[in-house]
Structure 1
């Protein structure tokens, strides 16, 4: 059972990380190389795909908690301390920003408000990628330690 839970945890965490990476990279690339229609397409894609991200994040959190319910120290403790910030950042900054940016793009409002929110979204997204990357690194270390 624990092995299955671990596989589900890894899959959900990696899915969430890859989705956020794709949101971040597609946003940066379209801002550099795309026009307004391309920006709208990317913002619309993100608004649809975020509904895959939310269950992936929830699954990673739930399975992580079930795998080590009482751990508070070491690598597991560090992972547990990062996740509330990742979740809050996602729900309070990234999700509303994604929806609002898509709305602004859909009405062609590429003004200062759009770009300020876009900058906030990119910083918050990079923060989450960094924290999740640290969790992945720590998870790999724990897996290697168990195999050795």
Structure 2
């Protein structure tokens, strides 16, 4: 059961961040200002899905590791502090700030600098979570082939 929780929570977190990132890029490049406002003000509501998903993935991963730190388990564990710090220190504050600025229709240079930082930090988290997914699948295949 915990393996299903871990995989489901990790996938939900990755997909949520990808949806945030893609909706931001697509709305900024191709949509009207009202769509950009809708996207930027909706993203903080998505944090109510993302934060518990990341916590569940991290907690279940810790439980599954059972104290092991070698091999792919260790590699995955080493990525998690960067993913968490990136989210807590950059992504969440940026999402809240950009939501506020968009709600006020304040699309100034500060908005776009923070938007660029958010996109960069989001891309980093997407990459790190995707690497954790890849390594988790490798670990699963290894267990299946030796079972």
TM-score (norm 1): 0.96
Q: In the aligned structure 2, how far is the partner of 1:143 from the partner of 1:69? A: 16
Give the count of matched residue pairs.
145
Which residue number in structure 2 is paired with residue 36 of structure 1?
33
Q: In the aligned structure 2, how far is the partner of 1:115 from the partner of 1:69? A: 43
Which residue number in structure 1 is paired with residue 143 of structure 2?
146
Which residue number in structure 2 is paired with residue 25 of structure 1?
22
Cα distance, 1:51 vs structure 2 = 1.2
Q: Of 44, 55, 69, which residue of structure 2 is paired with 1:72?
A: 69
Cα distance, 1:56 vs structure 2 = 0.4
Q: Of 83, 99, 104, which residue of structure 2 is paired with 1:102?
A: 99
Cα distance, 1:117 vs structure 2 = 0.1
Which residue number in structure 2 is paired with residue 114 of structure 1?
111
1:6 aligns with 2:3: yes
Which residue number in structure 1 is paired with residue 134 of structure 2?
137
1:59 aligns with 2:56: yes
Gaps of 5+ in 1: none
Equivalent runs, 1:80-95 vs 2, <5 Å? 80-95=77-92
Cα distance, 1:69 vs structure 2 = 2.8
Please state whether the residue corresponding to 1:72 is helix, strand or coil: coil
Q: In the aligned structure 1, how far is the partner of 2:73 from the partner of 2:119? A: 27
Q: Deviations over 1:23-82 (max 9, x none)?
A: 000000001001211111001221101111000000000000000131112101000000
Q: In the aligned structure 2, how far is the partner of 1:141 from the partner of 1:6? A: 14
Q: In the aligned structure 1, how far is the partner of 2:47 from the partner of 2:40? A: 11
Q: In the aligned structure 1, how far is the partner of 2:77 from the partner of 2:136? A: 11
